[in-house]
Amino acid sequence: MPNCSHDEQDAIMRAKRELILYARRLGHHHLVMGHGGNMSARIGNAIIITKHGVHIESLSEEDLVIIPLSSGGDMEYLASVELPVHRAIYLKTSSRAIIHTHSPYVAALAQVVRRYFKPVDEESRRAIPLVPVVEAPPGTMELAKRVSRRAEEGFKVILVKGHGVFVHGDSIREAYTLACLIEHAARTWLLSIHGGFHL
């Protein structure tokens, strides 16, 4: 961003490093694969977001683009197709980081869940007792509207029917923790309804 202060430039550099660090962790834990998923951080009036079509698990600085929080910006065409969702969440909440994944158990859960998902394991129940489900095609303003409405209501984890999950938080670390937690919650729930393993 050309008009950024020194402090903002520093914050942008730190956010980029953190996005890369947690992108690798998402990959390491198999929460992102190939072109699936995207992530961003907000610094002041700017969004640092992954570019369209990048591999999150091997993210580098060149895979990130900085665009204005409000609409517009010459570089917008480079950003993830889910930019409208990221932008809408930032505009309606005080969150500073967003992660979107199609992690395996979340993707399976998203096929079968209806209006709300209630985790069954104690750890997830305490952190995310109720997870709303929205439905709209990927990369659309309709999806942005539906997800951000739930975010504005205070939900930090929002499932998208047949698709995946958006999580957001005060930091990249918090968003990462929530991405791990919803995958764990989905896995535990799916194992429990199918009777688990026969040991």
Of 41-49, 52-60, 103-111, 163-171, the segment contacting Zn ion by CB under 5 A is: 163-171
Question: At its nearest, how many Å lie between Zn ion and the CB of residue 163?
Answer: 6
Question: At its nearest, how many Å lie between Zn ion and the CB of residue 55?
Answer: 14
Q: Choosing from 82, 122, 135, 142, which is the catalytic residue?
A: 82
Asked whether 100 and 35 are in contact (CB, 8 A), the reply is no
Q: For residues 19 and 56, which CB has a smaller minimum distance to Zn ion in the complex? A: 56
Of 107-115, 117-125, 139-147, 159-167, the segment contacting Zn ion by CB under 5 A is: 159-167
Sign of the torsion formed by the C-alpha atoms of 91, 92, 98 and 104: negative
Q: For residues 164 and 169, which CB has a smaller minimum distance to Zn ion in the complex? A: 164
Q: Is 123 a catalytic residue?
A: no
Question: At its nearest, how many Å lie between Zn ion and the CB of residue 80?
Answer: 9
Using CB under 5 A, count the residues that bind Zn ion.
1
DSSP H or E run through 133: strand 131-134
What residues from 81 to 140 belong to the interface with Zn ion (CB under 5 A)? none
Asked whether 49 and 198 are in contact (CB, 8 A), the reply is no
| 149-184 burial code (b ≥16 CB/10 A, e <16) | ebbeeebbbbbbeebbbbbbbeebebbbbbbbbbbb
Which residues have CB under 8 Å from 67's CB, separation 6+?
46, 47, 49, 73, 75, 76, 79, 83
Q: For residues 29 and 161, which CB has a smaller minimum distance to Zn ion in the complex? A: 161
What residues from 57 to 86 belong to the interface with Zn ion (CB under 5 A)? none
Catalytically annotated residues: 82
Binding site for Zn ion (CB under 5 A): 164
